[in-house]
Each structure stands twice: as C-alpha cells, then as structure tokens.
Structure 1
Amino acid sequence: MKVLIFTECLAGGVCSVISDQIQYLSAEDKQLQFDLLYSKKDETPKDLAQRFPDVGLIEIPYERGERFFLVKVFCYLLFRVKTKNYSVIHLHSSFSGFLGRIAFGLSAHKLCYTPHCFAFLSEEFSPLKQKVFYWIEKRLSLIGCIVACGGSEAKLAKGFSTKVRVHTISNGVNFSDLTSSVTSSQADIISVGRICKQKGFDDFKALYALASHQYSLVWLGGPKPDGIDYVSGWLSREALFQYYSSARLYVSTAHWEGMPVAPIEAQYFGLPVVAIRTHGVVDCVVDGETGYLCDSIEELYQRCQQLLSDTSEYQRLSHNAKAHIRKHFSLANYAGLLSLYRQIAADTLALSEQTLS
C-alpha cells in the first residue's frame, strides 16, 4: 500500500505528528510506503531526511508568499501529482485540505483530511473571512473523509452535515523520544510555540508582567524578538525536553488549536498545565485533575500561584498528568489510522476492479 501525505505546513506540531504517524504505521505494517509532499516554511526542520527515513520527500518548488503561490501549488497538484500511484492520500492542515480536495477530487475515495485546527477559527482573519472559510469547509466536507485530531475538531466537523464521514484519531506522542537527564531548574513556568496571535504571545506577555516578580517564565519558541530576554528562540528537541524536565508548570495562552502537542509532552514530564480554555486544549487537559482551564489571564495567574504554593495539590495534578498522558496519548492511538488506511485501500482496489470489469 502506498500513501501520499500532503502538507504545506511541515513545521511545529504538524511535523511531529506526521513523523510519529509514519514511524508507528511503518513499524506496524512493513508493506506501507510513504511519499511526503510538502511546501517549505522558515520553521521547517533542516534535517528532514533524518526525521523521515525511507520516505519519499517531494518539495513543492514554490515558496509561500511569492506571487500566485496558491495558483502555482494548485496547478502542481493537478498536473504533476499522479494520484493513481497511491492507495491513500492524506491531507494535513486546512490549506492542504482546501487545495487537495479540489485538485484530487476525482480520487475522492482515496482522500482523508486532518485540519489540525480549522482555518475559520483563526482570529487573524476578519469575521467575513472566517465565514467564507467556514462555508468552504462545509462545501468540501463531503469529499473524502475527515480525520479529526481530537474531540473538539471532530465536533466541529460533524456540524457541517450529517453526511460528513468523521473519524476521531487523537494525536499521540512517541514516549521513547521524551527523555532528559537535566534536573536543575531552568524556569518555573514555560510555554512552547511560535510567536503569533494563535499561540497568544501577547497574553503570555501579560502573564509575565503579573508573575515575573515571583517566578521565572520562559517562552520556548520564535522568532525571537529584539529586547525580550524571556523568549528563547527556536530550540532543538533535546533542549526543549530539558526545559520540560526541569520546569514546574506549563501554561497555554493559545486562542485556537487543533490538538496541541506541547501540552501533551509537558504533562508526560509531570508538568500540570494551566491554560486558557479553548478548542483542542480542552481535549488534552482535564480541568482540576491534570491542570486548570481558565477564562482570563488573571485567573490563569491565580491558578499558577495556587499550584506553586500548594505542594500537595501540585503533586496530585503532576501525578494525574503523567498517568493521563500515558493512558490516552500514546502512539497506539494511530492503530485506528492504520485500520482506516487499509479500509480506504481496499475500497480503492474494489473500485478499480469494478471499473476494469
């Protein structure tokens, strides 16, 4: 069985999820072959060949931001990608889902689509654009199937139509990669992500103003702004794990998410998560059990104070966080994805034989 994965967002959590999925699926089924079609971004890792061994890497020869980028990529998909070579085509991210479902529409039976957060949730767009994106998602939702990366995303997808085929396969993480020998504290409170509106960096700045006189706070990500010393810039995975293993709390100020990987990884290391209540985050943080979900930065700050001053409550949530992640977010989640791929491949083969006969 040969699978094509297409994403224009090969960076951050999406890159980690795709890497983990391929690793798990390849180990479970030696007959699987993967091609990864991607568009490079500034944040795209430089070591793709090491991250994706035995995977056919196909870089789209256009850069996001160049003139007519959308049209160029669409034409590339339509005329250069031979869909007949694949049993399954998996589209990752809203952009890829939009272009892929149109360009590969004649192969709809092969398509599955994981949004990793629908574009219409983005507060970077005007209300009018959000409505347009919602309308597009609704109209395209009957092409192929939607593979939601968490419960919030599945609920939104099911809201498009009762005819939409939705499979919920929650993100998993590779526990064997999550190791660090560092024990000395590097920060009390950490957060991970790109510096952008989606991840709520301005809200983190507000939290820093409230809490920095008591605690050390570090934002792990980039691009690093000039003159802000509590932002680390982009880190290696090893350096990130060192922060996970030595910090005390993880905070999430994100405004919208699909199923974020960083809070899952942080809880694996025993960090309670104090987060703004939002899509995606509510699927991996159990309020009052593995962390706290808050409705304002002020409440988030108060919860941080509470946890960092109450040893028994901290230990309870830390213990629960470790157990929760190990139980619900292992790579075994992707067994459902393997079953889905096999079903799509079988349907593709049956349709092909029917056409020939």
Structure 2
Amino acid sequence: MAAPDIHPRRIVHVTEAPLGGVVTYLEELLALQIATMPATAIDLITPAVNRPALEHLQGPNFTLIDYPMRRGSKKDLAALGLRTIGHLRRTRPEILHIHSTFAGAAVRGLDPLIPRGCRTIYCPHGWAFSREGSGRGQKLVAQVERLLSRVTDRIVCISDYERRAALEIGIAPEKLVVIDNGVSPRPEAAARPPRADGKLLIAFAGRFDRQKGYDTFLEVMRRLGDRAHAQAIGSAIVSAEALPAPPPNVELLGWQPREKVFDLFARADLLLVPSRWEGFGLVAVEAMQAGLPVFASRVGGLQDVVADGRTGRLFTPDAVGEIVALIEGTTPEQLREYGRRGLERYRERYTADRMAREMAALYREVTSG
C-alpha cells in the first residue's frame, strides 16, 4: 500500500495583485488545496478588492485575510511586508507561498524576520523584467530578482518561457521548477451553430490596458467592420478615462464572474489575445478547455500554450494587418478543428488537478530536507 501523502501543517499564501490572472490562479489552486489538504491550515493574505472574487472559497481549514491596498503605493507595500511577517511569526507555517512581483519584493526583502523552518516559495506570475519598460529599469528589476532568489527555496515558473528567462538573468537552475497553470473542467460546450448573419463572434477577456493589447483588439475589430462582432469582458484597473472608444461592432460587458467568461467562450468563434507580454496567458487555457480556438500574440508563455496551426494561430504583437488576415483566412472548419485540438491539449497538459498535485509534491520536497 502506498504511503499516505504528508502535507504541511500550515500554508500561507500572499499577493498584492488585484483581480486578473493571479486571482484566477489562486481560485483554482486554493479550491483544490482546501479540498485535498483538510488537515492543513491554509491562509490567504490578499487586497480587499479581491474578496468578492474569492469569498466563495470555504472550508474549516481556510482563512481569507484582506487588507487595504492602493495600486502602486510604496507605503501599502511596506505595510504588506510587515503584516505578512507578523502573521508568519504568530502562526509559524511550514510554507510561505508568495504570488506576484511586488509581494515577492516586499516580503522576501524582510527575509531575516521570516521564522526559521518556514520555506519560501515564490511565483512571479510573469517576470517584471520581461515587460515593456526602460532598459535601465528592467536591468534593475532583474538584479533585484537575482538577489532575492538567494533567499527563496524555490521559484515556481508558470511556463517554460519563464524558466528560460530566469536562467538568462543568472538565477540558479536548482531554484527553478516549472508548474504550468491549470484550470478546472467545465461542462462541455454544445457545438457552436452557424450564425444567421454569418458574422464571427470574437471574444476578448482581460484588463483593458496596454499589456493585454486592448488597443490592438479595438483596431482589429475596427478593420473587420461588419464581418465580425466582438464581446469584451474586463475593465481598466487604474482609470478608464484614457481608453480609446470602441467601434460599433464591439460590446463591452465590464468585469464579470468567471462563469460569465465561460458562457462567452461557449458562444464565441475564437478568442483574441493580443497581449504585448505574458508570463503564461491563463485565459488561453480557459478558452481551450471550452473548445474555443485561440488567436494570440507570439510572446512569453503564450508561445508554449498555443500550438500554432493546431489549436489556433500565433501572430506578431501589434501587427493589426497580420491579425486581420489570419482571422479572415481561417475557415469555419479550421476553427472547429482548432477548438477540438485545443480541448485535447488542455486535457493533456493544463488541468487544475495536475497543477495542484505538482504543487503538493513541491511542498513535500522543500519541507523534507
């Protein structure tokens, strides 16, 4: 008989990220940890803005601790670091699991205050030095990440792209482990019937900002005109004042719960992901789980997720003409085949169960030494 799994007594997760992909990741991972580790106390320290998206997570072993957080506030980040250290010293967990760049810096920067015996796991969810910015700023961020990696037991890379990027800046390979993101299965979508008007329904889901290529999405739809209609789920995190006006063939649905996102994916003909940088691109996996083809930028982890010409298409970032040509040059039969293969790829590589098992194995590894 196989020996039973031995789980940590307590795990503390902490993030500063508001809404978006990090919160979706935490929804998936924590739901399975709560269910499969009933004897483990699981705490989540997160900005108050995330509570509505996470309060459905329930269990006698789970505690959600929220705090006020102003985007970009150095004072609030410093307070997060001190708040987390205080919680660690009171509860003495075996695992501290930090999510996203700023929380990673705020908490790991106080490493001498972290209790002995607490192992630190860090997941950047997309390296900050891989994003757009000044060369000097990116070099500084890379130096900070390299320095802080020395006080980190393991760094979880959400794609092989992230691992390769870490190696390029000199992070020790033994610190790195790749655990691809995963999502839970939903009921299979019914076959998408042809539309009476013959127009494609294109889905967009994500923040309305530069990183996600929201401006590119709008320009693509403007050029497609009457040949396609789009529905966009999301909002601007910082301010909507500077957003470009959408063309008439784009319907903005605002920020919606995940079930509404999956409802859109069940109706749409393709998902457009014109991001300028992505550590992974979880929305692409959510679409593949729904049997929806993904047309995405050839950047970051999206290159690992989307199999070009098999589960969708990859294109050059910002290349509006190229994107329009790919959409117009793809037949309905090809879209259906991309969707079928995408669902197969999801089942093989991107389930939440697989992600949770690999994370549990990592916890056992770092606490067994």
User: What TM bracket, shorter-length normalisation?
Assistant: 0.7 to 0.9
Measured after TM superposition, the shift of residue 181 of structure 1 is 7.2
Structure 1 residue 298 displacement after superposition: 1.6
Distance (Å, rounded) in 2 between the aligned partners of 1:100 and 1:157: 20
The one of 16, 29, 32 equivalent to 1:8 is: 16
Instruction: For 1:48 and 1:326, locate their aligned partners in 2 and report how far apart those are by CA, in whole Å.
Output: 25
For 1:35-114, what aligned pairs fall within 5 Å after superposition?
A: 35-41=43-49, 44-54=50-60, 55-66=62-73, 68-82=75-89, 85-105=92-112, 106-107=114-115, 110-114=119-123
Other structure's SS at 1:230 match:
strand
Distance 1:226 1:256, change over 3 A: closer
Residues 255 and 47 (structure 1), Cα distance of their counterparts in 2 relative to 1, 3 Å cut: closer
Q: Residue 202 in 1 paired to residue 215 in 2?
A: yes
Residues of 2 paired with 1:90 and 1:249: CA distance?
35
Q: Give the Cα–Cα distance (whole angstroms) in 2 for the partners of residues 67 and 138 of structure 1.
A: 21
Query: C-alpha displacement at 1:206, in angstroms?
Result: 1.6
Q: 2 CA distance for matches of 1:227 and 1:294? A: 24
**Partner Cα separation in structure 2 for residue 279 and residue 9 of structure 1:** 19
Q: How many residues align?
A: 341
State whether structure 2 residue 141 is matched by structure 1 residue 128: no
What SS class does the counterpart of residue 235 from structure 2 fall into?
coil
Q: What is the Cα-based RMSD across aligned positions, in Å? A: 2.5
User: Displacement, 1:163?
Assistant: 5.1
Matches within 5 A, 1:167-186: 167-176=177-186
Question: Retained in 2: the 8 A contact 1:40–1:63?
Answer: no
Q: Deviations over 1:193-214 (max 9, x none)?
A: 0111110111112211211231
Moved more, 65-74 or 20-29: 65-74
Structure 1 CA distance, aligned partners of 2:357 and 2:191? 33
**Structure 2 match to 1:214:** 227
Letter of the structure 2 residue corresponding to residue 175 of structure 1: P
CA contact (8 A) 2:44 2:65 kept: yes
The alignment's TM-score, normalised by the length of structure 2, stands at 0.84
Q: Could you tell me how far apart the structure 1 residues matched to 2:51 and 2:188 are?
A: 20
SS, match of residue 274 in structure 1:
strand
- Distance in 2 between the 1:195 and 1:31 partners? 40
Q: How has the CA–CA distance of structure 1 residues 217 and 336 changed in structure 2, closer, same or farther, with 3 Å as cutoff? A: same
In 1, are the aligned partners of 2:295 and 2:314 still within 8 Å (CA)?
yes
Letter of the 1:4 partner, please give it: V
- 2:320 is aligned with 1:297: yes
Cα deviation 1:21-74 (Å, max 9, x = unaligned): 122233333322200011234xx2525321354421112344335572233323
CA gap 1:234/1:25 in 2 versus in 1, 3 angstroms? same
- Contact 2:77–2:102, Cα closer than 8 Å, also in 1: no
How far apart, CA to CA, are the structure 2 residues paired with 1:127 and 1:40?
Answer: 33
SS at match of 1:46: helix
| Alignment match of 2:365 (pick from 343, 349, 357) | 343
What is the CA-CA distance between 1:251 and the residue it aligns to?
1.0
Note closer, same or farther for the CA distance 1:84–1:235 as it changes in structure 2 (3 Å cut). closer
CA distance in 1, matches of 2:14, 2:218: 35
Identity %: 24
User: Which amino acid is 1:302 matched to?
Assistant: A
Deviations 1:265-286 (A, max 9, x none): 1112221111110001112101
Distance verdict in 2 for CA 1:187–1:107, change over 3 Å = farther
Query: 1:137 corresponds to which residue?
Result: 145
- Give the superposition deviation at 1:128: 2.1
The answer on whether the counterparts of 2:16 and 2:69 sit within 8 Å (CA) in structure 1 is no
Find the aligned partners of 1:157 and 1:316 in 2 and give their Cα distance.
35
- What residue identity is the alignment partner of 1:272? P
Write the distance in 2 (CA, Å) between the matches of 1:187 and 1:231. 16
